[in-house]
Amino acid sequence: MYQTNPNISDTQPVIRQLDDSAINRIAAGEVVERPASAVKELVENAVDAGAKRITVEYADGGKTLIRVTDDGCGIAPDDLPLALSRHATSKIDGSDLLNIHTFGFRGEALPSLGAVGRLTITSRAAGHEGAEITVNGGQTGAVKPAALNGGTVVSLRDLFYATPARLKFLRTDRAEAQAIGDVIKRLAMADPFVSFTLRDVSGGGEGRNVFRVGAEQGDLFDALHGRLAQVLGREFAENALPIDAEREGLHLTGFAALPTYSRGSAVAQYLFVNGRPVRDKLLVGALRGAYFDFLSRDRHPAAALFIDCDPTLVDVNVHPAKSEVRFRDPGLARGLIVSALRHALANAGHRASTTVAGATLGAMTPEPTQARVYQMDRPSPGARTAAYAAQAPGFAETAGVWGRVETPAEEVVQTADEDFPLGTARGQVHENYIIAQTANGMVIVDQHAAHERLVYEKLKRQMAENGVAAQALLIPEIVELSAGDCERLLDMSVEMYRFGLGIEAFGGSAIAVRETPAILGEVNARALLLDILDELADQNDSNLLQAKIEAILSRIACHGSIRSGRRMRGEEMNALLREMEATPHSGQCNHGRPTYVELKLADIERLFGRT
């Protein structure tokens, strides 16, 4: 049945000026999406105020209470009413919106919160008495004297009571509390020299500490490493590589985990620009691009990366929540992340994450059936050598005088070889796993996975040195696209040519494909270009062509490597170990799985109940 458009009426529409209350409620819809958004705005204000200790308390997932206490500079009594006015801020003077050095600058957070909840600000600035002001649903009260030693306490009760429809869109108390915790952890990573406390006071009383980190000491890298260990866990800190690179005014620092410490989702990716936590497609795509050669599609890298630059090189005034940024030169930022991470991963050599050994020990540990039995202490190296010699065949004939034991020259050489990181091969089991002895433990190597990686890295080096061979098409393939898509592809034509794909403009909105990578065989040029365009739209860059070529190299490496089931001689096994030590990325196979497991002697002894 035909229905008239409800937005069209017979009368002429009248343009009205909305009152301040409605304006603040509309602004609150952009700034305050959920309790976690309110916590973010209030804690960022505390950091901007120079606070060194920040305490956040919430009740019922932040729906009934959010309280932020800081020891910052405070607000003078005469400035409290102005702080609740829209677009009133001490962060900027409005003359330059690109030169922003603080978290906040819009002057929208406090009036927006006061428009949808019951907001109370108690503050005391240096040289002033403490004062308090309250605003309920947009109605501001008078400034009153208050008792406070210093800093600011902001209490927000009954969030969205003035806009009850918004309450229906909130999730459970537990989900909202988890979102608040995530916000605090991100801000804690951004500033390791500030202590943060998060407390759940649901039901009244002192409540319980949900998260607490003290201020770190030392230089920036040590402080950041310590803070990440507290926030993300010791395992991340132990398996993360330090990142420090600079290019044309952009400075990248932080830590990125080894490929073998990958995750099943992107939950462990934290990105910051000038200390501001952001969720930016460009930066996420760059992080993925740096690891795409080391992880399968269902695994995601873990990293905490910080880009610092002159504020004029990045625009943070893109979204009211300030979670998105726009770089003046996006390609520069992406290239810096990719090159810095790939350099760090290459320098890591054959290193694999410690969690691999932990998982192995967990799988091998039997269920406890009885109390641990005391065992004697581990003997000294000399005593072990004598004991081993005594247990060797022919000991009675060769030992001579009691206590006089001679170690064969071959044994001396093997013992010296144990000083290598991956030790000396002692044997092979199931025709696939090499057992090597190190100075303080043992290593189990998957010979097929390890050799596959070595061959793959060799093929990639050859490709980088000699380029990708291109196959000229007898008849160029013409692909019709939109004018915008043609321009985007032509902008990348030089990069594509490096990998054997030659394209050029054919007039109008068409592209002529004249060459394709020979290693790919027969190629559907149109489908390939459309896939590249999809990746460009999603990530502002494309590694698709390189990924396809390197996938072929990976398959070649798989078929050309040592197969499972082949018995190897001792010199072959040791040669493989030495090559692994000299080859970057040899700690994981082409799919991100570990190529070896290292077990320390103390871990092995624990498996047998030794103390």
Residue 534 — pLDDT band, cuts 50, 70, 90? confident
Residue 90 — pLDDT band, cuts 50, 70, 90? low
pLDDT in the model for residue 405:
38
Could you tell me the CA-to-CA distances from 171 to 30, 98, 294, 566 in Å, in that order? Answer: 18, 36, 37, 57
pLDDT in the model for residue 98:
58
Structure tokens at 304: 């905490």
Mean pLDDT of 25-46: 81
In this structure, are residues 276 and 301 in contact, taking their beta carbons and an 8 Å threshold? no
Residue 243 — pLDDT band, cuts 50, 70, 90? very high
Exposed (0-12), middle (13-18) or buried (19+): which is 404, by Cβ within 10 Å?
A: exposed
- pLDDT higher for 296 or 311? 311
Whether 547 shows a pLDDT value over 80: the answer reads no
Exposed (0-12), middle (13-18) or buried (19+): which is 139, by Cβ within 10 Å?
A: exposed
- Quick: pLDDT tens for 78-89: 888 888 877 666
| CA-wise closest residue to 309 among 241, 227, 253 | 253
Whether 57 shows a pLDDT value over 70: the answer reads yes
325: CB partners within 8 A, 6+ apart? 273, 276, 278, 280, 314, 315, 316, 318
Count CB-CB contacts under 10 A for residue 600.
15
Whether 358 shows a pLDDT value over 70: the answer reads no
Residue 393 — pLDDT band, cuts 50, 70, 90? very low
Amino acid letter, 550: E
Beta strand 65-70 with 139-140 is unpaired
pLDDT in the model for residue 279:
83
pLDDT in the model for residue 400:
40
Rounded Cα distance, 4 and 139, in Å = 40
3-state secondary structure of 155: strand
Whether 131 shows a pLDDT value over 80: the answer reads yes
| CA-wise closest residue to 211 among 179, 258, 237 | 179
3-state secondary structure of 425: strand
Average pLDDT, the chain: 79
One-letter-per-residue 3-state SS of 477-505: EEEECCHHHHHHHHHCHHHHHHCCCEEEE
Mean pLDDT of 283-292: 86
- Quick: pLDDT tens for 200-219: 999 888 889 999 999 998 88
3-state secondary structure of 151: strand
In this structure, are residues 437 and 384 in contact, taking their beta carbons and an 8 Å threshold? no
Question: Maximum Cα–Cα distance for the chain, whole Å?
Answer: 119
| CATH architecture classification, 20-213 | 2-Layer Sandwich (3.30)
Rounded Cα distance, 74 and 126, in Å = 7
Q: Tell me the fold of 422-611.
A: formyl-coa transferase, domain 3 (3.30.1540)
Rounded Cα distance, 103 and 90, in Å = 12
pLDDT in the model for residue 100:
59
All structural domains of the chain with their residue ranges: 20-213, 220-348, 422-611
Whether 409 shows a pLDDT value over 50: the answer reads no
In this structure, are residues 255 and 304 in contact, taking their beta carbons and an 8 Å threshold? yes
Structure tokens at 478: 């013409």
- pLDDT higher for 304 or 389? 304
> Any idea which residue has 């409800």 for tokens?
6
Whether 363 shows a pLDDT value over 60: the answer reads no
Question: C-alpha dihedral over 82, 86, 89, 94, to 10 degrees?
Answer: -130
pLDDT in the model for residue 105:
55
Rounded Cα distance, 85 and 20, in Å = 10
- Quick: pLDDT tens for 441-486: 889 898 888 888 888 888 778 777 777 788 888 888 999 888 888 8
In this structure, are residues 211 and 197 in contact, taking their beta carbons and an 8 Å threshold? yes
| CATH architecture classification, 220-348 | 2-Layer Sandwich (3.30)
- pLDDT higher for 609 or 64? 64
Residue 401 — pLDDT band, cuts 50, 70, 90? very low
Q: Give the chain's length.
A: 611
Count CB-CB contacts under 10 A for residue 149.
7
Structure tokens at 390: 């005594």
- pLDDT higher for 391 or 174? 174
In 237-282, the DSSP E strands lie at 240-247, 250-257, 269-273, 276-278
- Quick: pLDDT tens for 245-268: 999 999 999 999 988 888 888 888
Q: Is 585 left (phi over 0), alpha (psi -120 to 50) or beta?
A: left
> Any idea which residue has 């120079």 for tokens?
50
pTM of the entire predicted model: 0.69
